[in-house]
Amino acid sequence: MLGDSSEDYMARTGAKWLNRQGIHTMAMSADKKDYGHHNYPLERFGKAIAFMKAQGCEKFGVIGASTTGMMALLAASYYPEFSLTIAISPPDFVMEGFYRDGKDGMTERPGDMESTVTWQDRPLPYLPYAYRHPEYWQKIQEEAKAGGNKVASRKMFDESEKRHPIQEEERIKVEKIHGKLIFIGAEDDVLWDTCRYIRRMENRLRKLPHDCSFESWLYEHGTHFAFPESMLKMMMPVGSSLLVSFMFRAGKEHKRECRETRIDIDRRLKKVLAIW
């Protein structure tokens, strides 16, 4: 389930949205009110599956957005029990770990050479960020201000790949995912170039043996918040589009197009969930 903290308003509202589709939901997080990701044990997904099985659940899916979109793909690549995987605005590689502890007045900082996730007590290989603390957050602020956004890091991720071309061991093994796999992304995403990452995952699946069926829903406009419209309206009953407009310049300049994207995602996602 999306949301960096299990008690976060976004995670709770997203869970309610899935409940309305007739689906039991569990929100996963690093810790209560912890928005950082560093050395997160993937085995926690195994424990969640075991817990839900004990409650009588027989079918398992996973959904995530942004960093948790990466987590959803990774979890599904390690646990064949997942028969539906939905990744909104994901990268196609394991990210370096990061903290959101306000150190030195910075909202976010890289981990101390830590991965976002671990498996069997070992950190998974990751793409290292181009910058270290405090330059990391300073560069994000500079990019956001230059583009008229509240947050932006696309150039930083491009620079990270330039300095450290992604190695095979750092890529998410999407070919190991079972069942139905759906990628969702928008070209105007300023956090990272998610559509390019999704196309790389498509190419990987076309080249390698796999038994999942996959779809990519790529849009010109939609921003990093490519959520179902009815989910966003549950989060903000009044002025749901204002959040997207406030956060991202594209959300303000292409308000109608972004809303149309969310409406289309809403329609298609509800259909997929009903069939599943």
pLDDT in tens, 165-189: 999 999 999 999 999 999 999 999 9
Q: How many CA atoms does the CB half-sphere of 102 hold within 13 Å?
A: 1
Q: What pLDDT is attached to residue 77?
A: 98
Q: Are strands 109-115 and 96-99 parallel, antiparallel or unpaired?
A: antiparallel
Other C-beta atoms within 10 Å of 246: how many? Answer: 12
Q: What pLDDT is attached to residue 163?
A: 98
Residue stretches of the chain with pLDDT short of 70: 1-4, 6, 31-34
Q: What pLDDT is attached to residue 9?
A: 84
In angstroms, the CA 138 to CA 136 distance is: 6
Which H or E run includes 85? strand 82-88
Q: What pLDDT is attached to residue 34?
A: 67
Q: Dig out the tokens for 46 from the structure.
A: 């195994």
Whole-prediction pTM: 0.96
Q: What pLDDT is attached to residue 4?
A: 66
Architecture of the domain delimited by 9-94+171-275: 3-Layer(aba) Sandwich (3.40)
Length of the chain: 276
Of 29, 23, 24, the residue nearest 7 (C-alpha): 29
| Residue 214 one-letter amino acid | F
